[in-house]
Structure 1
């Protein structure tokens, strides 16, 4: 097979390119920008484009498939040439389905927790020597790439997000995978630039239920009222459903212990949201032949996915964690988890408004109370980022009012935020850094090292 990637430098795209290369396909690609770590990883496999930019000469009749990334535009000259030649053009979720249509497809969906649940399932299957292919949204310890595609693996584990598939395919990715086994973690409005109303967003999950295959299985978090209502009111299920909630647990001295039918089990992860993620992952693993006893034995060594309550540094009186959280539901769950894990310590939680939704004036009020469990909550945003995204300006006062709790301080200068953190007393206090970016250049490890010296 001869495959060309338009926009090969993307996070998912470059991993898929490497996976197909490992499968023996001839892979080429192009992009107008390739950043790290994609650049080094593509170069290591001989897949880095010789030059940066788009070139219609890359497109020729001998190509079996074009894979189109979201970063490319509809007027991309290579895409235009591919259409002129009548070549088969796939979005990457379409191509993932094409590669897995003869496998059992496990699709993990929901507004939050997808990467963690996917990582938990992969960890348990790996520990139990169950062969599987996968697509996951973060680099995982023990896994070379974020995508694996082989001929022999009978199962594919797919993180299925609800964002658009490609510039010319406006369907959410998770609609295209046609799950045999599925899990939904919850519904909390996100991607306002694509789904302008909450009702429109919820509808995408209803459509996802329609794509689950006959005799399939759906696990869903029954503690999420919107999701519970959706599943219970679904009129024509051709698959089995099973709800899950919060398992029994206890927290002592900063350690979370699961109370199972097989005895007590100390975990490396914490937070009620992660315990619900764990319970959902268990139901899927049961469907794949893993007993509860084998699941618990394996999950005890799971340390989490990158940037999902990831430990940065710490000592006996202070810990620093980072998290990808940026939407209201994720902020609320992650902040509450940190406070519950270390209830005797003061918690300073800092988050960055960085995404299109989070910086949208009409969406801001969704953050009402999102960081109320922190002792001190710091919200950062950059006016230049708002201008770059061509959004209406917002003010510090609007942000403070939107979060609607007395513990909020707002910053618009990352150096001032960093200096503020360095000036605090960190005896018996923890720091939680939440962002899909890096607060415009703050080095989390360096910051943590300085705090721990105080």
Structure 2
């Protein structure tokens, strides 16, 4: 097929472009800005646009399909040209469904943990040489791309994002996949710019359950009361398989999983990650991987990129970075590091970077999320607030939201970096949580602190 990507530079979009090229399709694309690592990865395969911008002349009747990214706008000149020509236009999830409509579709959903759970499943399947198609939201060790598509594989594993599909398709992505097998890890309000109330947000997960194929299998975290209610009250005729937090202990900084196969030391840690592991185990069981085989494979799983990723360590200090940005993720990650290193000072730094986290009405959801830290810092950029066209957020509002009298707040990248690099990190666990980079912080440079 001849396929053109409008907004080819996004993390998900460029991975799909690379996957389709590897499958044998002819790919072109456009974007108005492309950053690393997308830029280099596209250039290596000859897919980097010669010039940045939108070029309607790239759109012609010889194209079999257009794939439209969320970064583009509804008035994009290439999109308008494609509509005028009557070309087939897919959103990212629409295209994945079209590719996978005759496969067994395994969809991992939830406000948190879905990238990690999907990564765990793929790690175990790869360990046992089980070939599947997949799409996951992070780069994984041992995998070339975040997307892999074939004609022959019978199963596809999809991370099910609840965010919108495209500028002209405002349905959440995971509504389009029509799962045969699904998982819900938890529901905690996010994306306030799209789902203005908690009830509206929860409705999206109810719709997701209702879109499942009749007779399908739903694995769900029963300790989350909202998830439990959503799944157990559906009228869809599906099989339901609850899971809960497994038994574990922590010995000398290592997490030990208590299983029917005996005690298994893990590379990952944190109660939330043990819950993720249990969900992944259940999904793998439905894909034919028994418990013994699962535990053998999961023992050396080190985590998905940017998910509680250890970036530096010596005898006295350990530094983690984590993608956590929503309140539930921030709270879970902070508690995990606190539990793993009870005898060390925990310095937790959070960047408020997303639309939701910079919304004055949403800020109160962060109350108590950093209480496990001995010292807590919040960084946010007033410039980012302006770019997102949000109402100004003040330091006082942030301090009131977190309900922590000793909260340290920075709004300038240089000042935050100066603070960080002046810290004595002896006997310290440093945790950096953000979906951004603190205004340009070089994480590699942090290693010089040790």
* TM-score, normalization by structure 2: 0.99
Structure 2 distance, partners of 1:419, 1:35, is: 26
State the partner residue of 1:292.
291
Gapped regions of structure 1 (runs ≥ 5)? none
Separation of aligned partners in 1, 2:86 and 2:417: 53
> How many angstroms apart in 2 are the aligned matches of 1:411 and 1:38?
30
**Contact 1:308–1:324 (Cα < 8 Å) also in 2:** yes
Alignment partners' CA distance in 2, 1:314 and 1:230 = 42
Q: Would you say 1:451 and 2:446 are equivalent positions?
A: no
Give a deviation string over 1:229-267, Cα, whole Å, max 9, x none.
222222x13111111111111001110010100011000
1:209 match: 209
Q: Is 1:334 aligned to 2:330, yes or no?
A: no
Aligned twin of 2:316: 317
Q: Which residue of 2 aligns with 1:145?
A: 145
Separation of aligned partners in 2, 1:221 and 1:407: 35
Map Cα deviations across residues 262-313 of structure 1 (whole Å, 9 max, x no partner): 0110000000000000000000000000000000000001000000000010
Query: 1:74 corresponds to which residue?
Result: 74
The count of aligned residue pairs is: 450
Show the 5 A alignment for 1:52-201: 52-201=52-201
Say yes or no: does 1:428 pair with 2:406. Answer: no
Corresponding residue of 1:388: 387
Q: Distance between the aligned counterparts of 2:60 and 2:418, measured in 1?
A: 55
1:281 equivalent in structure 2: 280
User: Any runs of at least 4 consecutive aligned residues in structure 1 with deviations exceeding 2 A, and if so which?
Assistant: 421-425
1:5 match: 5
Q: Which residue of 1 aligns with 2:18?
A: 18
CA distance in 2, matches of 1:228, 1:91: 30
Structure 2: runs of 5 or more not aligned: none
| 1:442 equivalenced with 2:435 (yes/no) | no
* TM-score normalized by the length of structure 1: 0.98
Cα distance in 2 between the residues matched to 1:258 and 1:300: 9
Secondary structure at the counterpart of residue 201 of structure 2: helix
Distance of 1:451 and 1:259 partners within structure 2: 36
**Alpha-carbon shift at residue 32 of structure 1 (Å):** 1.1
Q: CA deviation at 1:421?
A: 2.2
Aligned to 2:31: 31
Paired with 2:93 and 2:14, the residues of 1 have a C-alpha distance of 13
* CA apart distance, 1:407: 4.1
Instruction: Tell me, yes or no, if the aligned pair for 1:131 and 1:153 is still in contact at 8 Å.
Output: yes
The secondary structure found in structure 2 opposite 1:83 is helix
Check the 8 A contact 1:110/1:187 in 2, yes or no.
yes
The 1:240–1:74 alpha-carbon spacing in structure 2 relative to 1, beyond 3 Å, is same
